A and B are shown apart, each in its own frame.
Chain A
Amino acid sequence: MLRVEAAYAMPDEQIIIRLELKEGSTVHDVLEQSELLQRYPEINATDSAIGIYGRVVPLDHPIRDGDRVEIYRPLTIDPKIERRSRSRRSA
Chain B
Amino acid sequence: MTMVWTTWIILGGMASAIGVALSLAGLLLRPEEDALTIRIESLLPQTQCAQCGYPGCRPYAQAIAQGDAPVNRCPPGGQALIEQLAGMLGLEVQTLDPHYGEEPSVPQRAQINESRCIGCALCLKACPVDAIIGAPRFMHTVIADQCTGCALCIAPCPVDCISLHADETPRWQWPLPQLAKLRSVP
Chain A residue numbers with a CB within 8 Å of B169 are 12
Q: Is B143 a contact of A16 with CB atoms below 8 Å?
A: yes
What residues of chain B lie closer than 8 Å to A35, measured between beta carbons?
A: 183
Interface string of B132-158 (1 = CB under 8 A from A): 011111110111110000000000000
Question: B-side interface residues toward A, CB under 8 Å?
Answer: 111-112, 114-119, 121, 124, 130, 133-139, 141-145, 159, 169, 172, 174, 176, 183
Pairs across A and B, CB under 8 Å, 27 listed = A7-B143, A9-B141, A10-B141, A11-B111, A11-B112, A11-B114, A14-B141, A15-B174, A16-B174, A49-B135, A51-B135, A54-B124, A54-B133, A56-B136, A56-B138, A68-B133, A72-B133, A72-B134, A72-B139, A73-B138, A74-B138, A74-B139, A75-B119, A77-B117, A79-B119, A79-B137, A82-B159
Per-residue contact bits, chain A 32-67, to B (CB 8 Å; 1 contact, 0 not): 000100000000000011010111100000000000
Nearest 3 CB-CB pairs, A to B? A72-B138, A9-B141, A79-B118
Interface contact B135-A73, CB-CB below 8 Å: no
Contact A56 B115 (CB under 8 A): no
Closest Cβ–Cβ distance, residue B132 to chain A (whole Å): 8
Residue pair A54, B115 in contact (C-beta under 8 Å): no
Cβ A53 vs Cβ B130 within 8 A: yes
| Inter-subunit contact A14/B143 (CB<8 Å) | yes
Of chain A, the residue at the smallest CB distance from B169 is A12
- Does A87 interact with chain B (Cβ within 8 Å)? no
A68-B114 in contact (CB<8A): no
